Structure 1
């Protein structure tokens, strides 16, 4: 039976529309919002890691000395500048003595006068001793003469009085001599103090080291204790490093370290962890450590320069290992997307040590052989349709 012409045209149009709808549906399912999400997968394997800890720190001097006067005065001059190496005891500069030299001369003159007074007092003792001895001998002789009745009692009493006067004179001379000795000692002490003060006007290096700061110029009035120069021990320089507390498990003194200075990126320096600071930074949640160089770099890096430090931590036992990029946080829970028979299932995990290659150990939640999503083109849900590829389209280049 022959169909009408209109029915044939309608049938042909319907076939064309059905074909277009089929092509559109296929395109939508393959490349549209309903298309499966491209993902790459990784197979969980049990193996040991060689974890490492990365941190950034600054170059600091282990020992620093600040040189300044012990009394207020004016800085007369400086003999060194920043960058100079100095030796212990070397004169670095001088303070203005003002009238100190004149005071020393005055005390010296007073000392000479006191010494002359001491000599006079010594001579008076000798004179008073002679008078005392003579008066004592005369008194004894007159006592004998009085016993025989040769002289009167009045004459004997007069000699006794002369003896008492001689004794008093001798005691007075001895007291004057003691006062003269004390005056000389006082002048000597005062002169020694002034000489000490004069020596302290010379600013001397307390240790061998490098001058790293010159804070005051000559002619400036300096307060007692104010810093003029800062000196460091150039043989004792370390890196003050900060490490993330969550990754610092196993960090201890003596571990080897690799140091890369910002000014010497092509040169890796070897070192080791000297100590872990007992006080951590509670604000940044970081642990502080001091890392020293095995061989001090030459020339000495500037203090305050940044350095990147990598510390090798002790190796771990064999546990399931996955790339850290596969770990996600969903509804506050840390986990990974498991691929089970072509479908997705979110599996919470407990993570352990990690290394600088981006791998992390799983303490709980996965087993060897599990298939885990490594990367995905977009956020995943348990209902997401996936298509496993070797490399994401967006990364193919």
Structure 2
């Protein structure tokens, strides 16, 4: 009888089983499989203490760099320093050929000596004319007294007065000649000083205590005014000109501590601090420049070397935190995707400090415990149905 029953209901049972398999497969595909809502990985907003930091890559440069060269065209006569030399302020590094300046300086010195001799002659003339004038004035006074007593004629008194006037004029002329001679000495000395200054200016002198990083001309080379012969830097002013993403620039301030890792010393970080925040950024790469000064270079001169810089920001206590991967920027607005009863909703937020291990402070827009999406295989939209998979 059972066999008869099975024979009778065989086809309906097969159909029911097939429908069950198809229905189960469809349910699985649309709820758990690839045809269903996409799986998203979520994490919950929570509070913790943050130690934010900013990372950037930069190049070691010198804040104070100097180009030493002539102030007028000439031929390099000698170079007394080379690449890598440590020099002192005022040290002569090289010299430009003076050509005919040395004979001109000697000629100017001779002109000064001649002018000084003329001063000596004029001073002697002044003394002579002074003595003659004093005698003539005395004689004129005596003869005028005799004329008043009617002891001599008026002609004789007038003659002595004329001699006194001539002596006075000669004395004044000698004084004028002495003043002119002294002015000539001053002029000749000024000319001589100008030539000496030109001669001294041909010496290439280090303006600071520093190190030479390049020698750009050799003896015999003709250079023009302002052309570099030596390039030197002050090693005490080395810093890293660091590129920081504009979105991470928030919170950086002068004086904050930093860690500097040179490419040549990746296992020995150096200590530094923020020395300057540059006003002009790079609008192409969307980066800002932060200059980080070394606290102690330990004798290193890593000019031009790439360096990794980590700037430590002030710690934040009891901060509401989400993974940085959850923060998205849509229509110029920072926000996160929140899962609400299996559907997505974009929630605008105000972000604060960030850490290098991928944590971001949420200042406003979220509450502790809110589930935010940190990964999705598909592009998300408002109201989309999703399947939640918690962060491992």
The two structures share one fold, judged by TM-score above 0.5: yes
Partner of 2:347: 348
| Corresponding position: 1:274 with 2:275 | yes
Shift of 1:78: 1.5
Relative to structure 1, the CA distance from residue 331 to residue 32 in structure 2 (aligned partners, 3 Å threshold; closer, same or farther) is farther
What residue in structure 1 maps to residue 266 of structure 2?
A: 265
Aligned CA distance change for structure 1 residues 16 and 81 (closer, same or farther; 3 Å) = same
Is the 1:333–1:348 Cα contact (8 Å) retained in structure 2? no
Is 2:113 the partner of 1:105?
no
Give the 5 Å matches for 1:136-215.
Answer: 136-139=137-140, 142=143, 152-215=153-216
Question: 1:249 Cα deviation (Å)?
Answer: 2.8
The separation in 2 between residues aligned to 1:65 and 1:91, in whole angstroms, is 15
Structure-1-length-normalised TM-score: 0.81
**How far is 1:368 from its partner?**
2.5
Q: Secondary structure at the match of 2:168?
A: helix
1:252 and 2:256 aligned: no
Deviation of 1:140 after TM superposition, in Å, equals: 5.1
2:65 is aligned to 64
Across the two proteins, how many residue pairs are aligned to each other? 386
Residue 324 (1) aligns with residue 324 (2): yes
Query: What is the CA deviation profile of residues 296-343 of structure 1, one whole-angstrom value per residue up to 9, with x for unaligned ones?
Result: 2432111x33322211212224243221223345677654444455x2
Q: 1:224 to 1:11 in 2, by over 3 A?
A: same
1:110, distance to aligned residue in structure 2 (A): 1.9
Alpha-carbon distance change, 171 to 369 in structure 1, aligned in 2, over 3 angstroms: closer
Whether the 8 Å contact between 1:36 and 1:387 is mirrored in structure 2 is no
Closer, same or farther: CA 345–86 of 1 in aligned 2, 3 Å: same
Query: Matched residues in 2 for 1:340 and 1:133: separation?
Result: 121
Residue 51 to residue 146, structure 1, CA distance change in 2 (3 Å): closer
Q: Matched residues in 2 for 1:242 and 1:229: separation?
A: 29
Name the SS of the counterpart of 2:316 in structure 1: coil
User: Is the contact between residue 335 and residue 346 of structure 1 (CA under 8 Å) also seen in structure 2?
Assistant: no
Query: Which stretch has the larger CA shift, 88-97 or 122-131?
Result: 122-131
Distance 1:143 1:370 in 2: 126
- Partners of 2:220 and 2:357 in 1: how far apart? 59
Q: CA RMSD in A?
A: 3.6
Aligned to 2:51: 50
Q: Deviations over 1:258-283 (max 9, x none)?
A: 11223333332221223434x24272
CA drift at 1:86: 0.2
Secondary structure, aligned partner of 1:263: coil
Greater mean deviation of Cα atoms: 119-128 or 129-138 = 129-138
CA change 1:69–1:207 in 2 (3 A) is same
Assess if the C-alpha contact under 8 Å between 2:270 and 2:297 holds in 1: no
Instruction: Encode CA deviations 1:39-93: one digit per residue, 9 max, x unaligned.
Output: 4332332223222122233222122233233344333222112211101111111
1:372 to partner: Cα distance: 3.5
C-alpha spacing 1:141/1:358, structure 2 compared with 1 (3 Å): closer
- The 2-side partners of 1:157 and 1:333 are apart by 112
Partner of 1:368: 368
Q: Which runs of 5+ in 2 are unaligned?
A: none
Query: What TM-score comes out, normalization by structure 2 length?
Result: 0.82
> 1:219 is matched with which residue?
220
Evaluate the alpha carbon distance shift between residue 106 and residue 16 of structure 1 in structure 2; reply closer, same or farther with a 3 A threshold: same
Distance 1:138 1:367 in 2: 119
SS at 1:235 equivalent = helix
- The alpha-carbon deviation at position 251 of structure 1 amounts to 2.0
Please give the alpha-carbon distance, in whole angstroms, between the structure 2 residues aligned to 1:254 and 1:281.
Answer: 20
What per-residue deviation string (whole Å, max 9, x for no partner) do you get for residues 240-262 of structure 1?
22333433333222222111223
CA change 1:359–1:128 in 2 (3 A) is closer
Contact 1:212–1:231 under 8 Å retained in 2: yes
